[in-house]
Chain A
Amino acid sequence: MDLDALYQEIILDHYKNPHHKGLREPYEAEVHHVNPTCGDEVTLRVHVSGAGEDAVVEDVSYDAEGCSISQAAASVMTDLVIGKPLAEAMSVHETFLALMQGRGAVEPDEDVLEDGIAFAGVAKFPARVKCALLSWMAWKDATSQALDQTATPVTEETR
């Protein structure tokens, strides 16, 4: 078993020095996701501006507890989605998901995934794929809740 294929230097760097960590305002939605088998947890907030095709991921902030893979994945994800048009961020998400579910057979695209290519080795460890996907799934869930909310904005009258 090639441990170094799993624990790429990039992953360990993000684990030790996570990017964009901490919960920030403003945000439209906050979710809490748990990996029930191991107990890893993430609380994640999204701030999205605009709507429809103009929607942009303004910020993703999080507080997380878990293994190096799950922590590094959250850090890399925020690098990849913050500041991007939402449609493009979702497309990155799909690319990362395909890499993770590819059982090690998918060649990662560095132009799209940047530091995310370091997770290519994780796909060969089925037990760890869910670690890498925890924060991505939380982000997708929070974003969908944020969009629902922008469709029917919370106002004084509806409150």
Chain B
Amino acid sequence: MTVTDTRHALPGLLPGLDLVRADFPILGRTVAGGNPLVYLDSANTSQKPQVVIDAMVDHLERHNANVARAMHTLGAESTEGFESARDKVAAFVNAPSRDEVVFTKNASEAINLVANTLAWNGPLQVGPGDEVLITEMEHHSNIVPWQLLTERTGATLRWFGITDDGRLDLSDVDDLITERTKVVSLTWVSNMLGTVNPVADIARRAHEVGAIVVVDGAQAVPQMPVDVQAADIDLLAFTGHKVTGPTGIGVLWGRREVLDQLPPFLGGGEMIETVTMARSTYAPVPHKFEAGTPPIVEAVGLGAAVDYLAALGMDNVRAHEEAITAYALQGLASVSGLTVLGPQRAELRGGAISFELDGVHPHDVAQVLDSRGIAVRAGHHCAKPAHKRFGVQSSTRMSSYLYTTPAEIDALVDGLEYTKKYFKVS
């Protein structure tokens, strides 16, 4: 059986999965002694469809120029390519205005932009006595920037805990969200536990006390429909390379009135209105936050990527993820000595499943799987506090995406049984 065998007719799988897979050239390559690649590390980075690769190559071959500065044909074409990517991204997350989409380097930079500018003089400035609320299940990139902010400003960092079944512990929400809370920042979908958090509910509570709501969408935006207006959040960070786009580009979407109240982040070209030797005034959003030459070809690639996802339909992508995740949870449950961390029901989670295998360290699991062409991640997945919560130092993580087949999950389960035999654990 090959990994493209789709004889398993799971309800919910993307229609024409073979054709979808054919869009991703890398999925056709072999690794490790001729084994077909079984790529189960998409929460780390997704693979890229040909249409994204072609859009970037075409831009570099035919339209390359700097944006918004060059008064020639190529400059106009490049600007058009770059700015139309902003339109596509705005539509993809249902932003009310294209001007609310700020391009950054990655999701981390997007969160750092917010956490830094909140420390500076302005109407939203965080200070002593204020509280910033995060959760124990965050990626380090949604923990460390807030630690830096609170350490620098004298504010207090607080966090939601995690329940035994891997959900956000909301039992002390009344104690945690108070008049002192200025910022609530949380992940929409956990990169380690897979948990999908009730972002809209928490946003409502946070808004009742006047706090702003920042959402780390790095794992959510790739795999489920995200509507920033329906969720009623204030800021959303995500990255290009997890939504089938390139590395080097991230997105900060922000409600206009919030972005307007934040001071500029990096100073430089393109973010100004006018400059004198003594002082400057600043361009309106989004350019206020885009100093210097932006990642142009990366934006073009990201635009092609979100177009690709929109054409597949994010409801379909989510249904596919849920079907594959349910199938994977079932397969993993058949492996004795294996413990899945996080919610056990597919409808409560995204496509990242972290697990422990008794008697075999995650690095060794990943190494043996790699020898069979199966790519997973081993380690703390940049979520050390969440691992500590469950008393484990590290875990193995499989993460599926829209191109994952049931046969690939079968290959993983077989690979895990082989791993146990190799390390002589029963």
Interface residues of chain A, those whose CB is within 8 Å of chain B, are 1, 3, 6-7, 12, 37-41, 65-69, 71, 125, 128, 131
Contacts and interface: CB of A to CB of B under 8 A. Distances in A.
Contact of A39 (B368, B380, B422): B380
Given A1-B32, A1-B370, A131-B363, A39 B394 contact: yes
Given A66-B361, A69-B363, A3 B368 contact: yes
Contacts of A38: 363, 378-380, 394
B350 interface: no
Given A67-B361, A68-B361, A69-B363, A7 B370 contact: no
B379 A67 contact: no
Contacts of A66: 361, 363, 393
B384 A39 contact: yes
A39 B379 contact: yes
B362 interface: yes
Contacts of B394: 38-40
A3 B371 contact: yes
A135 B242 CA distance: 35
Contacts of A40: 363, 393-394
B391 to A, nearest CB: 12
A151 B270 CA distance: 59
B33 interface: yes
Query: What is the interface residue range for chain B against chain A?
Result: 20 to 34
Contacts of A128: 363, 367
26 contacts: A1-B32, A1-B370, A3-B368, A3-B371, A3-B422, A37-B379, A38-B363, A38-B394, A39-B380, A39-B384, A39-B387, A40-B363, A40-B393, A40-B394, A41-B393, A65-B393, A66-B393, A67-B363, A68-B361, A68-B364, A68-B423, A69-B364, A71-B361, A125-B367, A128-B367, A131-B363
Nearest to B362: A67
B44 to A, nearest CB: 13
Interface in B357-402: 361-364, 367-368, 370-371, 378-380, 384, 387, 393-394
A12 B423 contact: yes
Interface in B121-146: none
Contacts of B380: 38-39
Contacts, number: 48
- The 3 A-B pairs of least Cβ separation, nearest first, read A67-B363, A67-B361, A39-B380
A1 B373 CA distance: 10
B271 to A, nearest CB: 34
Looking at chain B's contact residues, the main secondary structure is mixed
B371 A1 contact: yes
Nearest to B365: A67
Contacts of A65: 393
Contacts of A125: 367
B367 A6 contact: yes
Contacts of B423: 12, 68
A3 B367 contact: yes
Contacts of A71: 361
A63 B379 CA distance: 19
Interface string B30-56: 001100000000000000000000000
A7 B360 CA distance: 13
Contacts of B371: 1, 3
B393 A39 contact: yes
A69 to B, nearest CB: 7
Given A39-B384, A39-B394, A67 B364 contact: yes
B186 to A, nearest CB: 23
Given A69-B364, A128-B363, 11 more contacts: A3-B368, A6-B367, A12-B423, A37-B379, A38-B363, A39-B379, A39-B393, A41-B393, A67-B361, A128-B367, A131-B363
A130 to B, nearest CB: 11
B62 to A, nearest CB: 38
A66 to B, nearest CB: 7
B31 to A, nearest CB: 9
Interface string B389-426: 00001100000000000000000000000000011100
Interface in B13-35: 32-33
A90 to B, nearest CB: 28
A37 B378 CA distance: 10
B373 to A, nearest CB: 9
Contacts of B379: 37-39
A70 to B, nearest CB: 8
A14 B54 CA distance: 51
A119 to B, nearest CB: 14
A68 B422 CA distance: 12
A1 B387 CA distance: 31
Nearest to B379: A38
Contacts of A69: 363-364
Q: Which of B361, B378, B384 has the most CB of A within 10 A?
A: B361
A1 B367 CA distance: 10
Contacts of B378: 38
Contacts of A131: 363
A37 B394 CA distance: 11
Contacts of A7: 364, 422
